[in-house]
Structure 1
Amino acid sequence: METADDGPERMMPPVAPPVEGIYSSMFLTLVSYGGILALAIGFDLVSKEKESRSLKTLLARPVVRDEIINGKALGGIALLVLIVGSVLALSTAYLLVCSIVPSPDDLWMILTYAGVTLLFLVTFFSIALALSTLCRESGSALLLSLAVFILITFLIPFVTTNIGTALMMEKPDPAAYGGDTRSEGYQAEITAHLEQTRMVESAINLLSPQMAINTLIQRIHSYQGTTLEDTLGRIWSSVVALTLYPVVFFAVAYTRFMRMDLR
């Protein structure tokens, strides 16, 4: 026989997932496959037209070179914006199905997730576009793009982490200070150790966009409840590191395309 208390217990809805958790997991999933997707968009934008000689025909018309390369870059970025926007829309739709409405306070965090993910995708798109201008054939551009992807996603983080760990000082042992973690000597050593850890992390993020984006999303998720200024103050170095790749490779693509000999 059911008691009066059984009904309310059975009618309780399931625990709703947090807003930040849903968005962070969705964008991390996009990051896992987004690098390959961005490479696929950009690796043959120029090399394919060089192979078919359509680029030479296009330049015979009253179109300047910088309009072509800038148009290809903007078109690829627009497609990546559409992809990120679709993930954002799907995440929001899932939350609404679960009867969860993101609050205005969550908006800046959601947009930050979308912004850093877009930066990550643009990074690999810029690499593919640069290699497309450097290679004569699309097959070569694709192989080089995949090689660069493996290098900066797996090999560089592994090597940098091991080198940084080998060069770092050992974490201070509280027992050496009689268990007093508040002593000046222990505080000085633990501060130096944390500073070295940050330096190694910054070096890894600078050399690997994959590590930089993972660090960014995890930090944004871990700083729930903080203001936008506080969060940006903690992640700005990773954002700068993630911005360097697109700037450098877009510059390479632009310079190479402007000087390309199409005879």
Structure 2
Amino acid sequence: MDFARLSLISQKEFSDHIRSKRFLFLLIIFCLILGIEAANGVSSYNLVLEQYKNGDSMKIYQPSAVYVFLSIVNSIGSNGLGIVIGLALGFDLISGEREGRSLKTILSRPVYRDELINGKALGGLFAIAIITLIGFIGVFSVMLILGIVPDFNEILGVCIIWILTLLFIATSFSLSLMTSVIANTNSGSLLLSLVIIFMMLFIIPVGGGDLGTYILVGSTPQEPPNSVSEAQYSAYQDQQREYLKVSNSVYDLFNDFSIKSVYQDIAIPITSPSSYIIDKVGLTEFVTNPDVANSIEKPDFWTIIGDKWIKIIIFLMWPFLFFGIAYVKFMRSDLR
């Protein structure tokens, strides 16, 4: 692989992206949604901060400016904005060339297959970086206009959220690149990517969680009638706790197949450390004994990242896995 040719291909792909109407449309949509969510986030931040100062909030720690990004993380993750951006930028990178019968012409020149697919991947990643960077700069500007000035530590938290968002969209992009290599047409690539996304976001987490829980502990324990003895009711409560413990563990395992769940599991604690600590302590324990949570020092961003290291590994695994499949498939595909 010649790095000079790789650089030229990636520059051309990046130039094609940023000059396209699709890129402009995605950029406008991304910035518009982030702007709306930023305004909502600022409003929520001011409300939560006021409640905290008045002692009416369940927040353990004073909310920081990073809390503004909570609604943004939910919009990118739960609402699927990040997935849409990634799929839209990558679903036709290879299938489009194949459908337009230009792929064999490109490869007939002194360009190797690995240089072509690597260059297309890099060009797309640079385009994603530009979209997300402009969007986050716009959010930062909204915060400043509305009177929220983050300190250095809060700016660091925003940068971490941006990196996680970039990786999240890159995962969706690498998935669409993979389907673009596998499928022969753009429509087939888009359909296949949507099927895989649907399976990863809904079928595997929900179906796998239900099936795994049923195999390990059976169905949900039935609540006994009021006439049972105290010992029998106590046994039912023990069964219920064991069932919930196993069920939560199984669902957590299968949720790792959902890129949306992993993204939010890492990003949301950074925006709201209080929720992170309450989740670790347990909501029941926090309500009955608030001093336990209050005695815990506020975690910094690196502590949260360190606690989520398994999620981080899974998060990094997905884009490399999808791109690896795309790379191998493209290198071995018959282009005749």
TM over 0.5: yes
1:196-207 pair list within 5 angstroms: 196=246, 199-207=249-257
Shift of 1:205: 3.2
2:151 and 2:324 mapped to 1: Cα distance?
40
Q: 1:69 aligns with which of 117, 125, 128?
A: 117
Residues 259, 315 of structure 2: 8 Å contact kept: yes
Q: Give the 3 Å change call, closer, same or farther, for CA 160–69 of structure 1 in structure 2.
A: same
For the pair 1:223 / 2:269, whether they are aligned, the reply is no
Higher relative contact order (CA 8 A, sep 6+): 1
Can you list the C-alpha shifts for 1:77-117, whole angstroms capped at 9, x where unaligned? 11111222122112211110111111112123212211222
Determine what percentage of the aligned residue pairs are the same residue. Answer: 32
Can you list the C-alpha shifts for 1:67-86, whole angstroms capped at 9, x where unaligned? 11001101111111122212
> Size of the alignment, in residue pairs?
239
Can you list the C-alpha shifts for 1:176-225, whole angstroms capped at 9, x where unaligned? 7xx9xxxxxx9xxx8x8897466435412321111111222222233264
For the pair 1:48 / 2:48, whether they are aligned, the reply is no
2:251 and 2:194 mapped to 1: Cα distance?
24
TM-score normalised per structure 2: 0.63
For the pair 1:27 / 2:47, whether they are aligned, the reply is no
For the pair 1:121 / 2:169, whether they are aligned, the reply is yes
Residues 219, 235 of structure 1: 8 Å contact kept: no
Residues 206, 251 of structure 2: 8 Å contact kept: no
2:217 and 2:165 mapped to 1: Cα distance?
31
Give the letter for the 1:21 counterpart. Y
Can you list the C-alpha shifts for 1:52-76, whole angstroms capped at 9, x where unaligned? 1111111111111111100110111
Aligned to 2:46: 16
TM-score normalised per structure 1: 0.79
Residues 42, 125 of structure 1: 8 Å contact kept: yes
Aligned to 2:108: 60
Give the letter for the 1:141 counterpart. S
Aligned to 2:321: 248
Question: Structure 1, unaligned stretches of length 5 or more?
Answer: 1-13, 180-185
Aligned to 2:183: 135
Residues 205, 238 of structure 1: 8 Å contact kept: no
Q: Give the 3 Å change call, closer, same or farther, for CA 123–255 of structure 1 in structure 2.
A: same
Aligned to 2:310: 237
Residues 35, 121 of structure 1: 8 Å contact kept: yes
For the pair 1:97 / 2:170, whether they are aligned, the reply is no
Aligned to 1:182: none
1:67 and 1:231 mapped to 2: Cα distance?
38
1:146 and 1:52 mapped to 2: Cα distance?
22
